[in-house]
Structure 1
């Protein structure tokens, strides 16, 4: 989806802020916390942080090369994240901090894919550790614009949200038509990205339909 120059600047600034926040968090965690399972299936907290480094250190074309090598985009991304997770946590945090202003804007998906990545993976790290996750509601609404658009690729199949209406109680905005799901934007974002823990913060008849599509 197309953004104005000002909108792009706001998105890049939000991505940088979240990277710095995650870097500070990683620096504060002990080894048990770093090894704790995240909300991202198969990855511990440290590996999620390493994936966020991989986003800019390997980049779109690095992901594509790894996808060909491993015969799957998911396996390719997984391999890169696990390789980078072999670095010390302090190095991962420092790289996130030092390169926080890197402007990720892949072909087709653009800068909002980067914002989606840091917001969702920020929750993947914080929520299992009992740490509050409260991204800016206006920026979360931008993420929902992207996740419900035709330019969304790689986060989930488009059919997952087809025929479901999402109503964000933080901003009053809505997306889609059909059985409704109501709740905070961050919970909507996580739920449609497959994080069922967010269902506890949502209600409406569309929840049953969404859950059936996740299972």
Structure 2
């Protein structure tokens, strides 16, 4: 995928997620996501944040957090929830075409973020989705590259990762196979998918995630 295709995919993923969020009730919004301390609302706010926050505010939050990017990210998400919490689906849709890219990450970073965090929301709510295989391949290529170390901290193990449903693989060593979705979530440290994986490397991954 070239940059134009990736930006188009980002816009589409934001709109698709906005459609999902439109139908949630209060209990679903408050459901614990797969992502740390965030509930569904927090994850949605995190995805919206870069499109509605200027660089000066982001830098101020980083300085306030004394350079701790995780803490500043949490603070930014809290501010987005406070300001847009009742309008997250509408704001995601309105800012779908925003071309935010993190420093050194390029557009593949926000696309990967959307694919992962979208599942952080859908899986606890029991919501299924279909994926575009080209987007999954691009995200998996990114997650297994050095460029992903900034902001994603994916697993770095002597593993041969295999996404059976899209004909993708990367790495050498013991094999871990599954769907592209399961491999993507395992790479980004979501233990919920461990039982969806197979191969002689699953034990290595299980140990790393516990």
- Asked if Structure 1 and Structure 2 have the same fold, meaning a TM-score greater than 0.5 normalized by the shorter chain, the answer is yes
Task: Give the stretch that moved more between structures: 103-112 or 32-41.
Answer: 103-112
**Structure 1 consecutive aligned stretches of length 4 or more whose deviation exceeds 6 Å:** none
Alignment of 1:76-155 (within 5 A): 76-87=72-83, 89-152=85-148, 153-155=150-152
Go from structure 1 to structure 2 and tell me whether the alpha carbon gap of 1:73 and 1:88 turns closer, same or farther (over 3 Å shift).
Answer: closer
Which residue among 188, 191, 211 is the counterpart of 2:186? 191
Alignment of 1:1-215 (within 5 A): 7-58=2-53, 62-71=57-66, 72-87=68-83, 89-152=85-148, 153-156=150-153, 160-215=155-210
- Aligned-partner Cα distance in 2 for 1:23–1:82: 19
- Structure 1 residue 89 displacement after superposition: 4.2
Go from structure 1 to structure 2 and tell me whether the alpha carbon gap of 1:89 and 1:28 turns closer, same or farther (over 3 Å shift).
Answer: farther
- Aligned-partner Cα distance in 1 for 2:163–2:54: 32
Question: Which consecutive residues of structure 2, in runs of 5 or more, have no partner in the other structure?
Answer: none
When normalised by structure 1's length, the TM-score is: 0.90
Once the two structures are superposed, what CA deviation does each residue of 1:12-66 show, in whole Å capped at 9, x if it has no partner? 1111111011111111100010011011110010111011111222366654442
Question: Which consecutive residues of structure 1, in runs of 5 or more, have no partner in the other structure?
Answer: 1-5
Go from structure 1 to structure 2 and tell me whether the alpha carbon gap of 1:193 and 1:63 turns closer, same or farther (over 3 Å shift).
Answer: farther
Give the number of aligned pairs.
208
When normalised by structure 2's length, the TM-score is: 0.92
